[in-house]
Amino acid sequence: MHDLSRTFPLAVAASLALFALPSPALAVQPPDIAELRARGPAALEELLSQYDQTPPANRDGLAAVIDAVAGQRYATVSRLYWYTDLDRAEQAARQLHRPILALRLLGDLRDDLSCANSRLFRATLYANTEVSAFLRSHFVLYWSTERAVPTVTIDFGDGRKIVRTTTGNSAHYVLDEDGRVLDVLPGLYAPAVFEQELKKSLAFADKIRGMAGWQRLGAVAAYHAAAIDATDRAWQRAADAQYLHGSQFLLSSGELASALARAQAATVSKMMIEVPDLRKIGMMSPGEIPNDAAMWSAIGQKVWNIVDHGTAPAQAPQARGRGKPRVPASMVLDAASRALVAQLHNEGPAGQRATGAELDAVIARLEQHIVADTAQNQFTLRQTIRHQMLEQPDADFATLNAWVYENVFATPKADPWLGLVPRTEFTGLPGDGVVMP
């Protein structure tokens, strides 16, 4: 089990040493993180109240304390309290009669360099005002680490470095009050879809509360059988969706209508089609998994009615060399998430900061990727997991999680290199560049 009383990074430790909480209710100076963690969400609420009353210029030290007490980075935005001990999470769940939302990730949710999925969760899901309020009101939150997250450092030899993570997937498990798995959401989801799917899990958790034995197992199996069928029907409804191959943004109804009109005009006049990238998704076999973000995002827009409300005139993507890219104003990310994305994107050297237009384009591409991930995760990964839960509705959290990482994420615990050292190709490096401690 992970415990937040562990040693913090030096930067956080320094913040704790310099920061003094004047609140007599907390009575700690400097703050005792273990004591505050033991008090749970109530201590976090007191700290957040103090943060809101603190001038922005004096908030940094308090923000570091809040992250430590909350159990996640950027908790001043999400305002979520995360347990890192499953026994404590189950105890809180039983007291509140709530299910547990258990995040399994690579790395540490408090660190900047946790795995890519978890970083996007912090910026686009937990920072979302509506999602955050929903999670606080209906779930007990818990996270645990699958393994350390691999990092890659590119050293340019002149003091400049790029440090990033590689190879890591995360999943949200819905557990009942006793820690038994009810549902799984693998990878990233758009905020509105994430909340919608969790509402279904929440209703199911309420329905089976108190069930035991074969009655409970039968209910779990029936729930996933019905979900498999519903998802298959949604997939079939997406077959007639149109998309522009290579598009980097979500499509507005106006842009799609314009492309269709041009295609129809070319067809009527017996001329060569002038919109070669306009395609129809069509029906695909279950094993056919296309690798096209534009197609997956079109599926997501169709299934969940995600509409781009942008009013800018439709233009072809810049990649095809016809003018500037149109930046849509969709409703995938809310204002709080956009603000956090902008803050993170522009942190660092001044020369790396994006202009307003560049930042808008980054967010627009991010929104397309989120919708594409949502569709792919829902229609492929989650269906695979549901079939497994249908076959083994009694699998415990540890057993199902091990199966997910091995069979769905293809990063089994047995492979210490996470597939990064296949030893099938010659690299020209002694031992493929592997260094052992």
Using CB atoms within 10 A of its CB, is residue 328 exposed (0-12), middle (13-18) or buried (19+)?
A: buried
CB neighbourhood size of 324 (10 A): 11
- SS3 (DSSP) at 41: helix
Tokens of 402: 């091990």
Contact 289, 380 (CB under 8 A): yes
Residue 347 neighbours by CB under 8 Å, 6+ apart? none
One-character DSSP codes across 353-390: PPPHHHHHHHHHHHHHHHHHHHHHIIIIIHHHHHHHHH
Using CB atoms within 10 A of its CB, is residue 210 exposed (0-12), middle (13-18) or buried (19+)?
A: exposed
Residue 299 neighbours by CB under 8 Å, 6+ apart? 238, 241, 281, 375, 379
From CA 173, how far away is CA 196, in angstroms rounded?
Answer: 15
Q: Where are the beta strands (DSSP E) in 271-420?
A: 278-280
Report for 286-295, 393-402, 412-421: range of highest mean pLDDT? 393-402
Structure-token match 């969400």, residue found: 41
Residue 429, pLDDT > 50, answer yes
- SS3 (DSSP) at 236: helix
So what's the pLDDT on residue 254? Answer: 61
Residue 304, pLDDT > 60, answer yes
So what's the pLDDT on residue 330? Answer: 55
Q: How many residues does the chain have?
A: 437
Structure-token match 């999470």, residue found: 89
With bands split at pLDDT 50, 70 and 90, how would you rate the model's confidence at 284? low
pLDDT > 90: percent of the chain: 60
Residue 321, pLDDT > 50, answer no
Residue with the bigger pLDDT between 111 and 269: it is 111
Contact 400, 158 (CB under 8 A): no
What the chain holds in terms of domains, given with CATH numbers, is 1-70 (no CATH), 82-209+395-423 (3.40.30.10), 238-378 (no CATH)
CB neighbourhood size of 362 (10 A): 16
From CA 127, how far away is CA 336, in angstroms rounded?
Answer: 6
